[in-house]
Amino acid sequence: MEGNMEHRIIFATGNAGKMKEVRMILGELGIPVLSMKEAGIAADIVENGKSFEENAVIKAETIRDLTADGDLVLADDSGLEIDYLDGAPGIYSARFMGEDTCYTIKNTALVEKLAGVPEEKRTARFVCAIACAFPDGHTITTRGVMEGIIAQEIRGENGFGYDPIFYLPEFGCTSAEITPEQKNEVSHRGKALRAMRKELQGLFAKPEKEPEAKG
């Protein structure tokens, strides 16, 4: 892929918080990173995969087929796995209790489900799979995981989604109480994005000039 100006990355999301996280990490690639809305793309995507990776691939490839030549489409699927709930809500994290239900209600419900459960059984993790669909038809994926425990109460104003109930022992607070910069360093999406950035860096690296022949 030559000429960075010919290419764009379209990230298949309408979530402003997620786009901020994405741009902080992928900005180093030196090519424009657009949301679906910014790219003028709208699509209803049926996420019927059985894993985070499958859902990310479905989203990326669906949007890739609607984009201009040369665009790369990235999509993620992420969720919260709570061990005490046998991995739920898992791939259904966004749809847990209904997609239109606010996360304050969802978070309160999960805290209540774990009422009285000791800390050693409150283990959980955020998982993120990211897929990149290339113009030539092939797709790659990366994965990131952030381990923690479910908090006893909702805490913090930063972040989004389930962050206010996800306690990070190494910080002594929830992922909604750390800064966006700290979160990018340790988050599941940050890890998956950095792994994807590493995969893509070679594609957008400017070719080195061959040394001139001395004659």
Residues tagged active-site: 77
- Cα 34 from Cα 183, distance rounded (Å): 21
Other Cβ atoms closer than 10 A to 2: 9
Structure tokens at 85: 């709930």
Q: How open is the CA angle 125-127-129, to the nearest 5 degrees?
A: 170
Residue 129 and residue 143 in contact, taking contact as beta carbons nearer than 8 Å = yes
Other Cβ atoms closer than 10 A to 153: 11
Q: How far is CA 2 from CA 5, 7, 31, 196, 206, in A?
A: 9, 9, 12, 19, 8
